[in-house]
Every structure is written in structure tokens, then in C-alpha cells.
Structure 1
């Protein structure tokens, strides 16, 4: 297939959406499909720039110049499928749908929104979790889990005074990750908590660590590029987010064989036993869940790890995405036959 992937993120860095788009494009290419990515220059650079078309993603979704730019890109290529990644790209493709009668239109939705693109403007919608698909609530939606790859690495060096067990949390230091709640909960736990990531809440979180008297228990590591090595060193991985469309941290931890404790977010709430999910309440309750015996937690997550190995690989993601493309092409062919 000849696919144009449209991603209009103006994020200066590489987050989950950018990571997914890069990895899916590579996985589809490995399977013999022709993939072109239209995205901001900084994200094309991260892909190696070998199959990208630059777009000014800082323009709003209603920008006439952006709409004309996307139309020009589409008309200059011989694409069978136009795949919008994220809601901004999906809304742009929705606006352009009346002018794209000869292309199968697909959009991937990666996070919960108060308003979603109109499913009727696309031949298929992809949601990255069952919970997200349920929230979109349209028969045109198919779940395709994000795939990822992890390389088993030698354990990273831990702080020499780290008490056991060592927990690792990973993510941008932003309110939605709710690391402040995790810090409060860790008062009721022995061991060490390492938080890898950077962001606007760094000072606030450092203040909360000091205020709760945990400077000897909790460390903010800042941005780290060696997350698999950190996971290899940790005894367990904890996710504290208020919401996620799809938790890459959960997927990576399971693929590396690590026990996971999480808040009630996808995909953790779809694959982990209920007793390993914090569904709300006081920080002490979150702490109680973290107090479970980690050997027992690891044993009871056997099925979750098997699911991850079977479903959350890059190859599985690419195969399932191609199946959605084929459904979209079949729907397009049916539309043509009735016109």
C-alpha cells in the first residue's frame, strides 16, 4: 500500500504521538509498504528524514494555508490511504474529506477529548485502547494497540544508598501524571522511588518531596534516555497518571518482565489484575497497593506479560493497522460502486 501519514503536532520534543508515528511508519516500511510522513521538520529529523514532507504544524487546524498545504501534498502523491495521527490532523482531514473522494481516510485517536472528530468523515477510526474506543462510542472505531520495542539492557547504576524495594515512575513532570499524589502515597511505603522525566512541575514536586520528609527516599532523575536500563534496575514500575490514552510505560514494563502497579488508566486497566489498580481514594490506599509482595505481583501478571508479548509488538501493531487500511479501502470501493 501507498500511505500518507499526517501528523500535525507542534511539540518541540518527542512524546507518545511522535514516537508512535515514527515507529508505525518504520514497521509498515519493514513490511513492504510505501509510507510518507507529513509532519513538522523537527519530527521528520527524528525519523531520519528519509521519507518525510515538512509541514508548518504551528498553524491552527483552521488555517487556510495549512489546509491548502495538506491538499497539495495529497494531490501530488499517489496515496491509497491518508492516515491522520492525533486529533489535530484528524480535524484537518475531516475538513478536507469532501475533496478526497478517491482516498481511503483513516484517523488514529490517541487520547481522551471532550470532542472527537466526526467518525462519518473517515472510512475507519482507530482508538489505541478499549476505554478510548468506548468513549468515542461509534461503530466505525477499531482498537489497535500501540506497539513498541524494548531492548534488554544492563541495569543502570542506582543511588548507592537506595533502600529496597526500588520503584520507578516515568513521564513528563506535568499535572496529568499526578506524581504529587504518588509522592504523598509513598510516605506509607518502604524503599526508594525514582521518577524519570522533566517538565514544568519539577520545582513543585521537589517541594512536595521535602515537605513530606522524603528527600532520602524519592529522587527526581530528570530526563533519561536509558529507561530500559532503569527498568532493569528497578524492582517494580508504578504509574500514577490521572488519564492516558495508552500507557507506553506499562507496555514497556510488561515487555521487560517487570511488575506494574497503576492507576485506573489504559492499558493497565485492561490487562492487570484488579488488585494492582488504584481506582481512587486517599494516598494511603495507593500506598497500600504498593505494599503488596512483588514476587506475588509478578506471578499474577503472567497473562498480562503474555498479552504484551503477543499484542504490543511493533509487528503486531503494523499488521493490525494494515487490516484497518484494507477495511477502509473496501469501504471506499463500496462507496464508488454505489455512485
Structure 2
């Protein structure tokens, strides 16, 4: 099977990008895979994947971008073209009439009011059940995001990492439990809500990630007199390792598609608290969920996640995540969608 994946973002690496890296690399073990993506992502793909650099920083109405895409896809002559998220789907929809006959798949990664651009696909994959709303049922397939299992760290490595963190953040009390948040410091992640919720919780908060709101969030920590409780760790390449040091992982987002942070946490046997965003509500029990924007409910959910009972409640989810939320499972389900289209 000859497959073209289209990733039309042009900067950071979030869940959408990581999903695409994992999917293309895994598919290339069995099939001829081409990725059309911004040149900044070239080192994210295995050498088996045929990488085609395109400057997606340009507008989705840019005639040169559209012409370049059309020319590339027609040269490759794929069996399947798969558009990852909204911009890629819109670009392909604009040029589809100019393409040689293809089977076309779209994936919905986040909440969008208008799903028409996705429904134009011959098949539509949604990364959570909530994202299927507004899409014809006969086209829709729910395939959860998966990750590669992270090897367990040795006790020595854990102690080394922990010592490093506390050496840089001497005001933290090393005897307290650790709540961890991993994500971009941008409005949609609503870290400000998390800081409010952590007031009165007897635990340290490690915030892993960077973004435009860092200065304002650091100011909020000072205003709330939480300097002895909160550590900003910035962007870390070893974030997956750091999860293994957490007592609980927290999501405070206003919206999500299917957050990979939840997958990473559950696979690492870590309890969680989260706002009621897409994907998470399909996995976590109610006691560990909070209404979006409600700091008191989030505080209660965090306290539940830090309790002894949490391990008993979430234990079955740890095993399920290891079995179902893997790159291999995600890839095989996606390939089945392709095969179904090709069999028609």
C-alpha cells in the first residue's frame, strides 16, 4: 500500500504532531509511506519514511502551496491520502478535483464546530468519541491515540532526576508528594486554573513545559504565595521520564482531542485528575474529573488522585492503557480503515 500522510502544522510538537510521527513511522514497517510536512519535522521520521518538505507556514489559500501539494501527490500516486487535522483537510479538499483518483481519509484531532471539511473524506477518524459529532456515522471510526511504552526507570535514575529537580528548586519540600502537569503554557491548557486548584493541596506542583504565559503564571504563583510549592521546569526532552517521579498527573485544559499526557500517565501507573475534556471523560471515573474552569472541583479531583483509594480505582485503567493505547494498536486500526476503503 502506498500512503501519503499530510501534516500541515509548522512549529511546535504537540499531540497532533506526535500522533503523526508515530503513525507514519509505524506504518512504514509494512507499507510505503510518504509524509508531506514542514521541513522542521524532518528529523522526527524514520529513514524508511519518504519525507517531502513543504512550507506550511503559508496560508491555506496560498496558490503556490496548493499547486505544490497537488503536484507532489500526483507524482507519488498514492492509494491513500490521509489529512491530519483541519488545515491539512482543508488544503486537500481544495485540490482533490485536480488529483488522480485517490481514497481520502481525514482525522479530527480537536473540537471544531464545523465538521464539513472532515466529512468530505471517504472515511473520517476521530481520536475520541465526542469528536464524531456532526460527521456521518457510516464514515466515522474512533481510534484512540497511542504511545510507545516507556521503559521503567531504575531507582538510581529516579533518584538522580529527583535530586536534580530539587537542587534547582530549593524552596520545595522534598518530603511532599508531587503533582505534575505537562503541557504548553498557553491559554487552552488553563494552567492558571491549576494554580488556583493547588492552593490548599499538601503537595508540590511541577509544571513541565513552556509558552507565552510563563511570565504571567510565575507572577500568579507569587501573588498566591506558592513559591515554596510550585516549580516551573520549562521544556524538557525527558518529560516521559519525569512522569515516573509523579504521585499524580493533572490536566486543567479547557479543551482537548485525546491527550497523550493521559496515555503516558496511565501507562506509567500514575493516578490522574482532569477537567472534563474530550477523551479523558471516556476513561477516568467521575471522582477524578472536574467541570471545565471549576477550580474547586479540580482541587477535589486532585486530592482524590493523591489518595490511597485512587490506585484501586484506576488500577484496571493502567492495564487497559498498556493494552489498547499503543502505537501498534492505533496503527493497525488505521490500516484497517484504509483496507476497507480499498476493498470497495
Change (3 A) 1:207 1:56: same
For residues 238 and 281 of structure 1, the distance between their equivalents in structure 2, rounded to whole angstroms, comes to 14
1:255 paired residue number: 267
For residues 102 and 244 of structure 1, the distance between their equivalents in structure 2, rounded to whole angstroms, comes to 34
For residues 307 and 278 of structure 1, the distance between their equivalents in structure 2, rounded to whole angstroms, comes to 22
Quick check: 1:236–1:258 contact (8 Å CA) kept in 2? yes
Q: Could you give the per-residue CA deviations for residues 95-135 of structure 1, whole angstroms, max 9, x where no partner exists?
A: 12223362100011111123234345211011111111135
For residues 81 and 280 of structure 2, the distance between their equivalents in structure 1, rounded to whole angstroms, comes to 30
Q: By how many angstroms is 1:60 displaced?
A: 1.3
Is 2:207 the counterpart of 1:195? yes
2:299 paired residue number: 287
1:38 paired residue number: 36
Quick check: 1:3–1:83 contact (8 Å CA) kept in 2? yes
2:327 paired residue number: 314
Quick check: 2:291–2:297 contact (8 Å CA) kept in 1? no
How many positions carry a matched residue from both structures? 329
Quick check: 2:178–2:248 contact (8 Å CA) kept in 1? yes
For residues 177 and 119 of structure 1, the distance between their equivalents in structure 2, rounded to whole angstroms, comes to 25
Q: Could you give the per-residue CA deviations for residues 45-79 of structure 1, whole angstroms, max 9, x where no partner exists?
A: 33256520111111211221111111111111131
2:317 paired residue number: 304
Quick check: 2:60–2:90 contact (8 Å CA) kept in 1? yes
1:116 paired residue number: 115
2:336 paired residue number: 323
Quick check: 1:171–1:198 contact (8 Å CA) kept in 2? yes
- Listed as ranges, the gaps of 5+ residues in structure 1 are 334-339
Mean Cα displacement is larger for which, 133-142 or 233-242?
Answer: 133-142
For residues 2 and 323 of structure 1, the distance between their equivalents in structure 2, rounded to whole angstroms, comes to 14
* Structure 2 counterparts to residues 1-339 of structure 1, below 5 A: 1-11=1-11, 13-30=12-29, 32-47=30-45, 51-100=50-99, 102-134=101-133, 136=135, 138-151=137-150, 152-153=152-153, 154-155=157-158, 156-157=161-162, 158-159=165-166, 161-280=173-292, 282-292=294-304, 293-330=306-343, 333=344
For residues 229 and 20 of structure 1, the distance between their equivalents in structure 2, rounded to whole angstroms, comes to 19
Quick check: 2:83–2:89 contact (8 Å CA) kept in 1? yes
Quick check: 2:116–2:135 contact (8 Å CA) kept in 1? no
For residues 35 and 296 of structure 2, the distance between their equivalents in structure 1, rounded to whole angstroms, comes to 46
For residues 128 and 268 of structure 1, the distance between their equivalents in structure 2, rounded to whole angstroms, comes to 11
Change (3 A) 1:172 1:280: closer
Q: By how many angstroms is 1:10 displaced?
A: 1.5
For residues 95 and 149 of structure 1, the distance between their equivalents in structure 2, rounded to whole angstroms, comes to 34
Change (3 A) 1:183 1:135: farther
For residues 117 and 339 of structure 2, the distance between their equivalents in structure 1, rounded to whole angstroms, comes to 20
For residues 294 and 139 of structure 2, the distance between their equivalents in structure 1, rounded to whole angstroms, comes to 39
Secondary structure, counterpart of 2:64 in structure 1: helix
Change (3 A) 1:130 1:282: closer
Mean Cα displacement is larger for which, 38-47 or 153-162?
Answer: 153-162
TM-score (norm 2): 0.91
For residues 294 and 114 of structure 2, the distance between their equivalents in structure 1, rounded to whole angstroms, comes to 31
Q: By how many angstroms is 1:272 displaced?
A: 0.9
Q: By how many angstroms is 1:281 displaced?
A: 6.3
Quick check: 1:148–1:251 contact (8 Å CA) kept in 2? yes
Quick check: 2:105–2:123 contact (8 Å CA) kept in 1? yes
RMSD: 1.8
Change (3 A) 1:67 1:304: same
Quick check: 2:74–2:99 contact (8 Å CA) kept in 1? no
Secondary structure, counterpart of 2:133 in structure 1: helix
